[in-house]
Amino acid sequence: MMARTFDALELTVFAQGVAMLAEEMGGLLERSSISPNIRERRDASCALFDADGRMVAQAAHIPVHLGAMPESVAAVRALGARAGDVFLLNDPAAGGSHLPDLTMVEAIAHPDDASQLIGYAAVRAHHADVGGMSPGSMPFGATELFQEGLIVPPVRIETVAGANEDLMRLVLANVRTPGEREGDLRAQRAACAAGARGWQALWTRLGADTLRAAVDALLDYTERRVRARLAALEGATGAASDVLEGDGVDDGVIPICVAARVHAATLHLDLTGTAGAVRGNVNAPPAVARAAAVFVLRVLCDDDVPVNDGVARALVLTIPDDCVANAKRPSAVAAGNVELSQRLTDVTFAALARAAHGVGDRSLAIPAAGQGTMNNVTLGAPGWTFYETLGGGQGASARGGGPDAVHVGMSNTRNTPVESLERAYPLRVREYAVRRGSGGAGVHAGGDGIVRRYEARVDCTATLLTERRTVAPPGSDGGASGATGRNLLNDVPLPAKTRVAMRAGDVLTIETPGGGGWGTPPG
């Protein structure tokens, strides 16, 4: 039987169709979630996979989930998932990123044969608390994974026989805000079900053979587009390094190194030279390093290149066994997903910029370093927890200045609206503004960061996991560095990573970093 072929129009329609299914999952999740972190900030990702576990489409949500979601589906498949099974997991050893990111995977049943598995729908969402040693489950000073929250290996929370309410009770008994968690988990379940319905409808309309052929063609097309872009850099090599500012336990800097090489239209990234595993929680599982690499590779391509497993086919990632980006049980990882991922992105972009310059390719227009942190802020007390990340300045490039007050790199969340925050929690936002003048100077200036001031209306605890407080985001091609960020409690400086008690009336101020400038400034 001759393989089915698709013309450009057919493939475009199919690519847009499956991407829209993932976007619809995200829209339903947003509308039905309880917590502002998912409902307002959309700190979540949705994706669809075929029966072989290949990612067919991911909505344009959170880049740090790009490389990790496929590993979660692989873990579910390894356990012998059956049609109608719904799994829950957050274990970093099973494709999880860090414990607050709870991933739900539904094994999609054939629309006319409930015993036949035809694909997977997956939803990953950051929950504002999953237990652990401090409210919000993003602890300062954790040295073991067990301190960071409830660890959930891939477990069935539903089968064709019905939901496993005993397991749901177990999960909810180990979190500080069970009502909110239950609401968000049920929203994830609804989003998975929506994805499953969409995939089933596609299966019914196209048929098994045509759908499989369309998936094959889409992934092959994506791979061709990525390799065509890399072909322009054939033979290019470059290396770069930077640091993380301590791990929350030790203050010494943590070197992050990436060597990039393009060979046979494949991007080879080698993390040799990067620090070994550390005591604090800036470690990350390989899935996070893979996500950073896939994100950078996707950014090199044109905007119309689909996001699916075809991107990763053009990537070879080498991570030493003893590496901060190769965390093993029981290493703590809460900050690795959010902060190490950012630095890996910064350094990989810098290595690729040098590689491109080495072969005379200026078409990439890779920007200078952006703020390089997610500025994790967690506030909580008995009965409530609040978590958000904050935007900052993006780096400038040859194409123009960096935008102000945006989420940069591996984060793509929205902000938490002041009205929503103040309605849901005993907090008041005293100021929310662009931090003027914080972007690095250059022919094109880096973007400015932001200022956000929180007033506690009750006694609570604040946990901060931030970066770029002492080492500024570097400029590029002669551009100046962006300003470092600052954390203050009642105008008294705080470390980059800390946990502090706040009294009612205390004010916590976060000033986020600016982006690096591009080009030697005139004069």
Beta bridge partners of 126: 101
Omega before residue 330 within 30° of 0, cis: yes
Residue 1's pLDDT band (boundaries 50, 70, 90)?
very low
**What values do phi and psi take at 87, rounded to 5?**
-105, 150
| Residue 166 in tokens | 């005993």
pLDDT in tens, 183-240: 999 999 999 999 999 999 999 999 999 999 999 999 999 999 999 999 999 999 999 9
Residue 66: predicted pLDDT: 64
Termini Cα distance of the chain: 69
Tokens 């990882």 locate to 333
CB 463 within 8 A of CB 381: no
What separation in angstroms does the CA of 89 have from each of 99, 104, 144, 346? 9, 7, 18, 29
Chain segment 234-252, per-residue pLDDT in tens? 999 999 999 999 999 999 9
Going from N- to C-terminal start, the domains of the chain cover 8-222, 367-523
Predicted local distance difference test score (pLDDT) of residue 2: 54
Q: What percent of the chain has pLDDT over 70?
A: 99
H helices of 301-417, in order, are 309-312, 341-358
What digits encode the pLDDT tens for the residues 301-343? 998 999 999 999 999 999 999 999 999 999 999 999 999 999 9
340/71 Cα distance (integer angstroms): 19
Mean residue pLDDT across the chain: 95
How many CB atoms sit inside 10 A of residue 475's CB? Answer: 28
CA within 13 Å, CB half, 308: 30
Query: What's the pLDDT tens digit per position in 419-473?
Result: 999 999 999 999 999 999 999 999 999 999 999 999 999 999 999 999 999 999 9
pLDDT reading at 68 higher than 70: yes
Contact in structure between 451 and 375 (CB atoms under 8 Å): no
- Interatomic CA distance for residues 517 and 521, integer angstroms: 9
pLDDT at 172 over 90: yes
Is residue 303 classed exposed, middle or buried when 0-12, 13-18 and 19+ CB atoms within 10 A define those classes?
Answer: exposed
Write the CA distances from 47 to 103, 244, 309, integer angstroms. 11, 31, 11
Residues 239-285 have pLDDT tens digits of 999 999 999 999 999 999 999 999 999 999 999 999 999 999 999 99
Q: Are 371 and 392 in contact (CB under 8 A)?
A: yes
